[in-house]
Amino acid sequence: MGPGIIEVFLQYWPLFLNGLIGTLKYAFIAVLFGSMLGIVVAIINMSKNKIVSTIGSIYVNVLRGTPLLVQMYIAYFFIPMAVPALSFLSKEQCVILSLILNSSAYVSEIFRSGINAVDKGQTEAARSLGMSASHTMQKIILPQAVKNILPALANEYIAMIKETSLAGTFMLYELMYTRTLLANKFLVWQPLFIIAGIYLVVTMVLSALVRAMEKRLSVSD
Amino acid sequence: MTDEMKLIIEVVDLQKNFGDLKVLKGINEKIYKGEVVSIIGPSGGGKSTFLRCLNMLEIPDGGHVYFEGEELDANSTDLDQHRQKIGMVFQLFNVFPHLTVLDNITITPILEKKIPKEQAEKEAMELLETVGLSDKAKEYPRKLSGGQKQRLAIVRAMAMHPDVMLFDEPTSALDPEMVKGVLEVIQNLAESGMTCVIVTHEMGFARKISDRVLFIDDGIIAESGTPEELFDHPKNPRTQEFLSQVL
């Protein structure tokens, strides 16, 4: 059996802490860049041009309809080969890129519903004033949509915190990777429970924060 | 109608369908500079759809709309330019809730007409003064009453210096005590020489301020004339029936 969970945690907590920092960092990068890309995908998806919107929906369906782990393997092995322009990316960066792409597909759907939820009268008012379509989207619709979808984006971040655990498979130093590090020291079962506990605490705390944010947002309406 | 009067809007055989429903069945109309034209008629008769075709918020299925001599085309990049000269006020105000009262007014002149910020704000403050809202400039619209929101929406459109103002049932969503203030603002505009097209259920108001009244029913202009002609001596039986119900 070896040492207990608490002993292992007390001895190796800096490893877990660094792992957690890696997890939060990768999840943040994925959602931040995923959001930027996601806005573009959402707008492509909502295009009146059938060909353009079909490309958008294929993108979303492929990324949402296949496992992230598979996407990571493909990114890890094939992105530098298949896309020469991206060959400067390290293996690690390819895995992060797959996180970003995956997140962008989910975020684009969040944005799409957020944009659709903004009253149509807002677009009509802006366009009737002579505001261009792109200014209307940037200055009138998106600011209102973002406010509506902040809780959903935060939930995407929480989901992404769990998804990044797959990145440990590719030697990215995040929380799950500490299991590999400690397995080398013949500590097999203790780290798993410590890792699970840390994920649980972090996601519960963040979920509580999201609920508080939702409450505040609904008050300001 | 004298020859010197300048044609602002000309509508030729305008048609609009929603699915199988023919909402506008061929409307012909000319609106001249400085005219105040009210549009009355039963709900579902096509009044609002007609008005919304005048700035292409609804894209017609047939016919033509000319604004100051140029045909409006929903697919043309010039449309935004034309729309800057066609102000519109909506039943539900459609003020921008995420912008302050002042920014609601200045955002489009700054973005689309490249007016310097200070100048746009100075002008916006003057406009707010005229509708009694200058003390609300820094507030967000949620702090405003319905009547105040609608007055904001009117000056927001005015800030673009339009040549014509379209009003789509501007007082229908207001509490009764708010109606008067908004109608006064519209009346002041009309008396200042602004060309106005007003879809309204306020018959007394339409009668008081209009040069002409159009009665739209079942997708056509069933009758038009001066307020006296239309309200006192309606010729069309449908106009008579409608007026007997609402007056």
The 3-state secondary structure of B175-211, one letter per residue = CHHHHHHHHHHHHHHHHCCCEEEEECCCHHHHHHHCC
Sign of CA dihedral A154, A156, A162, A167: negative
Give the start-end residues of each E strand in chain B: 7-18, 21-32, 36-40, 62-67, 70-71, 86-89, 164-168, 195-199, 212-217, 220-225
Q: B94 vs A121: CB contact, 8 Å cut-off?
A: yes
Interface size between A and B, measured as CB pairs under 8 A = 63
The overall average pLDDT reported for chain A is 92
The Cα of B221 is separated from the nearest Cα of chain A by a number of Å equal to 24
Q: How far apart are CA B219 and CA B39, in angstroms?
A: 12
Q: Which of A163, A152, A155 is nearest to A111 (CA)?
A: A152
Contact list in A for residue B98 (CB cut-off 8 A) is: 143-144, 147
Helices and strands (H and E) in chain B: how many: 9, 10
pLDDT at B59: 95
Q: Is B149 on the interface with A (CB under 8 A)?
A: no
Residue of higher predicted confidence among A221 and A58 = A58
Q: How far apart are CA B64 and CA B50, in angstroms?
A: 12
* CB atoms inside a 10 Å sphere around CB B140: 17
* CB atoms inside a 10 Å sphere around CB A195: 22
Contact list in A for residue B153 (CB cut-off 8 A) is: 125
Chain A residue with CA closest to B162: the answer is: A129
From the list B90, B98, B108, the residue facing A130 with the nearest CB is B108
Residue A149's Cα: distance from chain center in Å?
Answer: 14
Cross-strand partners of B65? B11
Segments of chain B with pLDDT less than 50: 1
Chain B residue with CA closest to A220: the answer is: B142
Q: B107 vs A144: CB contact, 8 Å cut-off?
A: no
The Cα of A212 is separated from the nearest Cα of chain B by a number of Å equal to 21
**Rounded average pLDDT over A8-16:** 93
Q: A129 vs B55: CB contact, 8 Å cut-off?
A: no
**pLDDT one-digit tens code per residue, A81-137:** 888 888 888 888 999 999 999 999 999 999 999 999 999 999 999 999 999 999 999
pLDDT at A89: 87
pLDDT at A2: 82
List the single best residue of B75, B94, B150 to mutate versus A (max A Cβ within 10 A).
Answer: B94
**Rounded average pLDDT over A187-212:** 94
Q: B55 vs A128: CB contact, 8 Å cut-off?
A: yes
Distance set, CA A156 to CA A16, A104, A115, B11, B83 (Å)? 23, 10, 17, 51, 40
The token pair at A192 is: 């798993």
Sheet holding B220-225, edge to edge: B86-89, B164-168, B195-199, B36-40, B212-217, B220-225
Interface of B with A in 6-65 (CB under 8 A): 55, 57
Contact list in B for residue A132 (CB cut-off 8 A) is: 80, 111-112
Provide the 3-class DSSP secondary structure of residue A2: coil
Q: Which of B185, B181, B186, B208 is nearest to B198 (CA)?
A: B186
The Cα of A39 is separated from the nearest Cα of chain B by a number of Å equal to 19
Token pair 């496992």 is found at: A67
Q: Is B85 on the interface with A (CB under 8 A)?
A: yes
Q: How far apart are CA B7 and CA A102, in angstroms?
A: 56
Provide the 3-class DSSP secondary structure of residue A160: helix
The Cα of B150 is separated from the nearest Cα of chain A by a number of Å equal to 12
Chain B residue with CA closest to A119: the answer is: B94
Q: Is B147 on the interface with A (CB under 8 A)?
A: no
pLDDT at A79: 85
Q: A128 vs B85: CB contact, 8 Å cut-off?
A: no
Q: Are B95 and B156 in contact (CB under 8 A)?
A: yes
Q: How far apart are CA A143 and CA A146, in angstroms?
A: 5
Q: Is B239 on the interface with A (CB under 8 A)?
A: no
Q: Is B96 on the interface with A (CB under 8 A)?
A: yes
Q: A139 vs B160: CB contact, 8 Å cut-off?
A: no
The Cα of A137 is separated from the nearest Cα of chain B by a number of Å equal to 13
Sheet holding B7-18, edge to edge: B21-32, B7-18, B62-67, B70-71
Q: pLDDT above 90 covers what percent of chain A?
A: 80
The Cα of B99 is separated from the nearest Cα of chain A by a number of Å equal to 9
Q: Are A37 and A60 in contact (CB under 8 A)?
A: no
Q: How far apart are CA A20 and CA A173, in angstroms?
A: 9
Chain B residue with CA closest to A138: the answer is: B111
Q: B84 vs A129: CB contact, 8 Å cut-off?
A: yes
List the single best residue of A118, A119, A128 to mutate versus B (max B Cβ within 10 A).
Answer: A128
